Amino acid sequence: MRIGELAESAGVSSQTIRFYERQGLLPEAERGANGYRVYDDSAATRLRYIAMAQAAGLTLSQIRSILDLRDQGSTPCQHVTTLLDTKLADVRTRIRNLLTLQAELEALLQRSQLLDPGHCADQDICHILSPSQ
């Protein structure tokens, strides 16, 4: 199939396919007599895998490392598990940080309801965010 057909079947743009080729995520396509790229069904499978891996939060570099292992004949499952464990730990840390930020913002908004803008000193800029209060 040609690049447009592959793009449509995989739900990506032709530019994305060319980018993935340049980044080593897709093997370089064979060329037909007319010079057009020609892909087989494995390219569509690989594009769907890339999309699923991105949806799981993996970076293109991480995805490339998985594909490289597979291309070398290794089963990358343990590597994928390690990447997903790390990603999950990062997400949990971000959630904790966001919950802390949420509590701080709620406290500041609650504080803003108690403060009179007329009591805001020039050096404070805005006393809602002033450390002296």
- Domain 3-116 sits in CATH at 1.10.1660.10
- pLDDT for position 20: 97
Contact residues for 4 (Cβ-Cβ < 8 A; gap 6+): 14
- pLDDT for position 12: 94
d(CA 9, CA 15): 14
Domain ranges of the chain: 3-116
Q: Which is nearest to 67 in space by CA: 43, 41, 102?
A: 43
Contact at 8 Å (CB) between 6 and 17?
A: yes
Give the tens place of pLDDT for each residue, 61-111. 999 999 999 999 999 999 999 999 999 999 999 999 999 999 999 999 998
Structure tokens at 20: 């993935």
Q: Is residue 120 predicted with pLDDT exceeding 90?
A: no
% of the chain at pLDDT higher than 70: 98
- pLDDT for position 132: 57
Using CA atoms, how far residue 27 sits from 3, 9, 61, 67, 80, in Å, is: 13, 18, 15, 10, 20
Banded model confidence at residue 38, pLDDT cuts 50, 70, 90: very high
